[in-house]
Amino acid sequence: MYYSSGNYEAFARPQKPEGVENKYAYIVGTGLAALTAACYLVRDAQMEGNHIHIYEKDPIPGGACDGFEYTGLGYVMRGGREMDNHFEVMWDLFHSIPSIETEGVSVLDEYYWLNKKDPNYSLMRATQNRGKSAHTDGKFGLSDKAAMEIMHLFFTPDEKLYDKPITDFFDDEVLNSNFWLYWRTMFAFENWHSALEMKRYIHRYIHHIGGLPDFKALRFTKYNQYESMILPMVKYLEKSGVIFHYNTKVADVKFDITLSRKLAKSISLITEKGEETINLTENDLVFITPGGCVENSSLGSQDKPAEFKPELEVGGGWDMWKRIAAQDKSFGHPENFCSDPEKTNWMSATVTTLDDRIPPYVQKICQRDPFSGKVVTGGIVTVKDSNWLLSWTFNRQPQFRTQPKNQLVGWIYGLFTDKPGNFVKKAMRDCTGKEICMEWLYHLGVPVDQIEEMAEHSANTIPCMMPYITAFFMPRSAGDRPDVVPQGAVNFAFIGQFAETPRDTIFTTEYSMRTGMEAVYTLLNVDRGVPEVWGSIYDIRCLLDATVKIRDGKKVTDMNLNMAQKMLLKEALKKISGTEVEKLLNEYNVI
């Protein structure tokens, strides 16, 4: 497997790998990484569909990319996905996946047309004082000292960031800024999370720094992520003859390990009929999804809290990974991610409006008609003075194909689940859906004497607790996540958020899909380049643009410098006078 960029390889079709007709594939899970691996096995490795088996412990596919109407409960979305125009692997695959709505159109086509016609941006990024603007006003609000702290992290080598939390590099100069409010709520970072992952994110999205305050950097799907992304992939695979096994848990994978090679020898399954073992040969390829950010998640209801249950179970992604990791040190260290659920949890809630009482409050804040079918909030609206650090969003409506035209379906989430609310004096994790809705309505500015009645009769709210939703952000070091294909691996690969691939960022659709593509291309020696991670970090124009925008447009010459520094800057400006360097710095408002 090798990386490439440019149209030459992007448009090429690889030849059929030698011997693929004699190989079989066994894929653990049906999240984006697993489905992507299956799609690349079909499209580029040209494996027969009936040679591919996919095992899913739940009755439906999708993993963390869900969106489902549960009978007797209502619409549920545990999370949402924000896309970037430079998700190179995602778009490489989705240009080949047919739309399930329009014949002759790809998933990429419909996504591209939608976001060109209706570009995303927010008109209200944050509120306070019960629905009033927090007046972040598109500013990061960083002092020179704070900007230098971010710059220091940016240039620190990875090796010096192993096992370090963000607070080792940022103090209140950063942590009390608008920058951190935007960042932590958009990406769900906590102060104690990994400085290494923080650095990766800054590197990966340096070209989008200017788009963070109003979300104009983002793209969204038409419907929820399950209907817009997962279902088209599943339909493509089913049409190709791929075999799905639902309600089937993978308890363990056993390996034959020597100094020079590692061979997956068997898969242990737990099915509705009992336990089963699949014996493997070198021609049987195994794609393993270790861990899981939505593992152990639980749903509540309008009248019932979502249970916090972090205990690991046989057949779950964490227990399976622990069993696998015990066999070889190159298979990672799951305990570094799943041992402290108090530091890896947050809660979400799906709210469905049932009448015309709540939508006007949404419209007042987002400044758009939520029933227009176009962008509504344009990303999350963060309640700056919320004890739960509550954020909420309504994407284009309807979010579900079956959704009634007079209803809105939105999403709420809180980072601090153990804190009492501002209105509901309970921890978020102890609240029913109705109570979470009450807290949200309070922050929308609904009159206090109307809140409870509206939460009960004008909305249906389903809470979801996720103990391990940010497990991948825990401080880590090299080797804690296994390589996609560990050294010496013969017939297996690790895929998903807890497999290691260089430069890309976890908690993104692209990361999952990239690991799926890399796994297939490596194990089957597909002769075509995997698109490299977008190289904005190496583009001087992006670096200059970000340097100015992160300081709210202030030029380098406006920095608070001492006399010696001012003299050095003056001499440097003299030396570049009349050169292309001066022209470039002026073009990007650096000087």
**What single-letter amino acid sits at 130?**
R
SS (H, E, C) 487-551: CCECCEEECCCCCECCCCCCCCHHHHHHHHHHHHHHHCCCCCCEECCCCHHHCHHHHHHHHHHCC
One of 201, 442, 468, 511 is an active-site residue; which one?
A: 201
Map tokens 């992939």 to a residue: 233
For the record, the structure tokens of 42 come out as: 């079909």
26 is annotated as an active-site residue: no
Residue 498 and residue 332 in contact, taking contact as beta carbons nearer than 8 Å: yes
Task: Spell out the alpha helix ranges (H) of 205-249.
Answer: 225, 231-239
Q: For residue 158, give the DSSP letter.
A: G
The Cα–Cα gap between 261 and 418 comes to 47
Residue 591 and residue 556 in contact, taking contact as beta carbons nearer than 8 Å: yes
Residue 51 and residue 284 in contact, taking contact as beta carbons nearer than 8 Å: no
34 torsion bin: left (phi>0), alpha (psi -120 to 50), beta (else): alpha
For the record, the structure tokens of 7 come out as: 């149209």
Interacting residues of 583 by C-beta distance below 8 A, sequence separation 6+:
none
588 torsion bin: left (phi>0), alpha (psi -120 to 50), beta (else): alpha
Peptide bond into 482 cis (omega under 30): no
One of 40, 56, 82, 223 is an active-site residue; which one?
A: 82
Which helix (H) or strand (E) segment is 353 a member of? strand 346-353
201 is annotated as an active-site residue: yes
Q: Which three-class secondary structure state does DSSP give residue 74?
A: strand
Identify any residues that bridge with 559 across adjacent strands, giving them in sequence order. none
Closest Cα to residue 202, out of 187, 218, 215? 187
The Cα–Cα gap between 38 and 569 comes to 55
Closest Cα to residue 222, out of 104, 102, 122, 125? 102
- Please list the active-site residues: 82, 201
